[in-house]
Amino acid sequence: MATTAPTRERYRDDPSVLTVLKSPRLLTREALAGLVVALALIPEAISFSIIAGVDPRVGLFSSFVMAVTIAFVGGRPAMISAATGAVALVIAPIMRDHGFDYFIATVLLAGVMQIVLALLGVARLMRFIPRSVMVGFVNALAILVLIAQLPHLFGVPWLVYPLVVVGVAVIVLIPRLQKVVPSPLIAVALLTSAVLVFGWSVPDVGDQGELPRSLPELFVPQVPPTLETLSIIAPTAFAMALVGLMESLLTAKLVDDITDTRSNKTRESWGQGVANLLSGVFGGMGGCAVIGQTMINVKVSGARSRVSTFLAGVFVLVLVVALGDVVALIPMAALVAVMIMVVVSTFDWHSIRPSTLKRMPVSETLVMVVTVVVVVITHNLAIGVIVGVITAMVLFARRVAHFQTVTRTVTDAAAHYAVEGELFWASSNDLTTQFSYTEDPAHVVIDLSRSHIWDASTVAALDAIETKYARLGKTVELRGLNAASTGMRERLTGQLGAE
């Protein structure tokens, strides 16, 4: 007799770290993918540090610590976590108004909050995010990644443009010839060599900020352990925790879809908290999953294990500390080319095809568009997803409300009303208007066998109907209520105030 596998088997890494380490082919793939991700992380970490108002080394060390930590404790293999723009935007006011010590204290508290939220089961809320919101999240993310590249394409020497074009061409064409070495890595090496050989003057990584020369050190924030301190950092820490978890869980779900595997979202949630805690301990700015670098790792480079995530973090540290002078020479045009291809591969082009738009319900398309617009305007993925979910809920409630119908038949003895559909606040508010109170005979039968009572609003509506008939000296008989509806009505009827 077949037995069901234990729940933990659903989340078994495939391939496992041991499998990768035993296979030169897999290890080479994971290592090269990690190197490409590290090269893409460095300029972004510097940029996010500037957004947060801290030294570039804060973002770089945070990316190193988070990537290495999440490789061990995260629930989604091959996903990259590092310093991010969304977290930088949320936490920047603390640095501006209260200084670096409060900044790090906020990161530490956010990590603790993420662990608590994970233990409370926040990951289960992912099931309430509709597909249309997920598509909007992916498309908005692609647009934000593209917008982030624009500063590197305006007000720059004309040589940047042909370099970007060549870089994109290399990334697209090389996989047709070989797939051992990731094409983004070849593009970066080729363009860097060309710039150095011909002595072209174009913006490079070194122009983004000074790279650190030493290893990260433990940092203990000097803040007074008082309620006043808590009142300063707690609201920002909570916002950072929510934004980080939402981006990480949505990114994990996206990687699940791409790789046709399942990941442990609860483990990913507390893993993000642990990673942020360690990031703060080493003076980092914290962060969450980064969609762009994750797509480079999973979709462009083909990585599938924790090894690539771990090596991405290690390579960040090695490149900026030991090989900082070499990394500083990489032209930004090469990294822009990589990110442009990330945009192309991330955006859900199927969602905007005319044939898809014709088949898709208007409400689904509207939810996707609202999610994209809000994310692009606010530059905050969490806000966009929340607004998208609320929009989907409202449209769903509005659509379901119209499914309720009331059919009236009259005999000599009684008036019979057959109510069909789901009864909740959106549909039951109009229920009281669909009865002919004065025209009906003395006995009224309401058949609810094809409906279901979902909330107090419906119970209140039924109470109001009975009250209206009672004032006219008529009796009401409710029939066909299922067990759940009967239980709710018995608990609430007559307890909801005067009608």
- Residues 6 or more apart in contact with residue 495 via CB below 8 angstroms: none
**147 and 286 together in one domain:** yes
Residue after which a domain boundary falls, among 352, 367, 394: 352
In a domain, 313, yes or no: yes
State the CB neighbour count (10 A cutoff) for residue 483.
7
In a domain, 390, yes or no: no
- pLDDT score at 462: 93
| pLDDT tens-digit readout, 174-206 | 888 877 777 888 888 899 999 999 999 999 988
Residues with Cβ within 8 Å of 199's Cβ and at least 6 positions away in sequence, in order, are: none
Confirm if 45 and 83 have CB atoms less than 8 A apart: yes
Which percentage of the chain shows pLDDT scores above 70?
97
Q: Which of 352, 385, 415 is the last residue of a domain?
A: 352
Side-chain half-sphere exposure of 78, counting CA atoms within 13 A: 32
Q: Are 458 and 430 in contact (CB under 8 A)?
A: no
Domain count, the chain: 2
208 versus 164: the higher-pLDDT residue is 164
Average of pLDDT values for 388-412?
85
Q: Residue 81: pLDDT above 60?
A: yes
Same-domain pairing of 273 and 133: yes
Inside any domain, residue 46: yes
Who has greater pLDDT, 499 or 460? 460
- Verify that 348 and 409 share a domain, yes or no: no
Under 8 Å CB-to-CB from 120, ≥6 apart: which residues? none
Residues 319, 453, single domain; the answer is no
Mean pLDDT of all residues belonging to the chain: 88
422 and 344 housed in the same domain? no
Confidence of residue 111 (pLDDT cuts 50, 70, 90): very high
Query: Residue 354 is encoded by which pair of tokens?
Result: 């005319």
pLDDT for 430: 81
Q: What is the CA radius of gyration of the chain?
A: 29
The pair of three-digit structure tokens given for residue 73, joined into one six-digit string: 């404790």
In a domain, 7, yes or no: no
> Is the confidence at residue 9, as pLDDT, over 50?
no
* Over residues 352-368, mean pLDDT: 90
* 362 within a domain of the structure (yes/no): no
Q: Residues 277-302: what's their mean pLDDT? A: 91
Look at residue 70 and tell me whether its pLDDT is greater than 60. Answer: yes
The answer to whether residues 458 and 311 belong to one domain is: no
pTM value > 0.85: no
In a domain, 271, yes or no: yes
Map the chain to HEC letters. CCCCCCHHHHHCCCCCHHHHHHCHHHHHHHHHHHHHHHHHHHHHHHHHHHHHCCCHHHHHHHHHHHHHHHHHHCCCCCCCEECCHHHHHHHHHHHHHHCHHHHHHHHHHHHHHHHHHHHCCHHHHHHHCCHHHHHHHHHHHHHHHHHHHHHHCCCCCCCHHHHHHHHHHHHHHHHHHCCCCCHHHHHHHHHHHHHHHHCCCCCEHHHHCCCCCCCCCCCCCCCCCCHHHHHHHHHHHHHHHHHHHHHHHHHHHHHHHHHCCCCCHHHHHHHHHHHHHHHHHCCCCCCEECHHHHHHHHHHCCCCCHHHHHHHHHHHHHHHHCCHHHHCCCEHHHHHHHHHHHHHHHCCHHHHCHHHHHHCCHHHHHHHHHHHHHHHHHCCHHHHHHHHHHHHHHHHHHHHHCCCEEEEEECCCCEEEEEEEEECHHHHCCHHHHCCCCCCCCEEEEEEEEEEECCHHHHHHHHHHHHHHHHCCCEEEEECCCHHHHHHHHHHCCCCCCC
Examine residue 373 and state whether it is found in any structural domain, yes or no: no
Which whole number is the average pLDDT over 159-184? 88
The pLDDT assigned to 151 comes to: 87
Q: Do 72 and 278 meet the contact criterion of CB atoms below 8 Å apart?
A: no
The tens digit of pLDDT for each residue in 208-237 reads 777 787 888 899 999 999 999 999 999 889
- Are residues 327 and 462 both part of a single domain? no
**Residues of the chain above pLDDT 90, percent:** 51
Same domain, 343 and 485: no
Residue 382 pLDDT: 74
Q: What whole-number distance in Å separates Cα of residue 144 and Cα of residue 58?
A: 23
Statement to judge: residues 300 and 434 lie in one domain: no
Amino acid identity at 113? M
Q: What is the CATH number of the domain that holds 453?
A: 3.30.750.24
pLDDT higher than threshold 80 for residue 132? yes
Together in a domain, 462 and 321: no
**Closest to 363 measured CA to CA, from 401, 326, 420, 334:** 401
In a domain, 4, yes or no: no
CA separation for the pair 303, 136 (Å, rounded)? 25
Domain check: are 346 and 409 in the same one?
no
Q: Which two tokens stand for residue 365?
A: 């398309």
Question: Which of 321, 352, 383 is a domain's end point?
Answer: 352
Instruction: Give 421 or 412, the one with higher predicted confidence.
Output: 421
Based on the fold, state whether residues 165 and 269 are members of the same structural domain.
Answer: yes
Q: Which two tokens stand for residue 410?
A: 């009259």
**Quick one: CA dihedral 404, 410, 411, 413, positive or negative?**
positive
Name 381's bridge partners.
none
Q: Which residue segment(s) compose the domain that 450 sits in?
A: 405-492
